[in-house]
Amino acid sequence: MKNFLKKASLLYLPLLTILIYSCSKDDPDGINEEEFISNVVISVTSPDGSLQTIDWDLSETNMETINLKANSNYSVGLSFENRSDPTDIEDVTLEIIDEADEHQVFFEFADVSVDVTSANNDTKVGSRGVLLKSVWNASSTGSGIVRVYLIHQPTNFNATNREGFGGFNDVSIDIPVSITD
């Protein structure tokens, strides 16, 4: 029996060592945790160059409105930030661009008609646009809502509605929109 235990320990000791080292906390190939996003900053530049900035804090009730004029092209830019530590504000947008193949921005409008086209300058080489920069043009006056999504791991990048994209929401916010003449 003693001889059996000695042989078994010689066989299992290397396997136990491999198991212990393979589960090390310092493993560089660990799971990529999602970034925490506390704020969405929307920059809306009108044709005359004036800028409207909406800083949407996801932990608060926000009442800011995006103001547009009908039949005008507006440049719209999005950035995503982690402000959980005020001494170390992190621009999560850079990671979203680096992981462009895993993210998509989608805008869904209710009670207003706004055409959105990509400005296509938020890509890394060889990647499609995430839609962090776009051009908006409202065809008529009115007021409504734009739901802004940041979709993680979409399964269909060519969808025309939220359900069609698949994946899950990193961000989903509703922002009032007012369109005047």
Phi and psi of 14, rounded to 5°? -60, -35
The pLDDT tens digits for 128-152 are: 678 999 999 999 999 999 999 999 9
* Residue 73, beta-bridge partner list: 137
Q: Is beta strand 51-57 parallel, antiparallel or unpaired with respect to 114-118?
A: unpaired
The pLDDT tens digits for 115-127 are: 999 887 655 544 5
Calculate the CA dihedral of residues 74, 77, 105, 83 and round it to 10 degrees: -150
- Give pTM, 2 decimals: 0.78
Assess contact for 80 and 103: CB atoms under 8 A. Answer: no
pLDDT for the residue numbered 16: 40
pLDDT for the residue numbered 48: 96
| Residue ranges of domains in the chain, CATH in brackets | 35-180 (2.60.40)
DSSP H stretches of helix in 23-167: 93-98, 162-165
The pLDDT tens digits for 66-95 are: 999 999 999 999 999 999 999 999 999 999
Indicate the average pLDDT of the chain.
84
In sign, the C-alpha dihedral spanning 144, 154, 60, 95 is negative
Q: Tell me which amino acid residue 34 is.
A: E
Q: Tell me which amino acid residue 1 is.
A: M
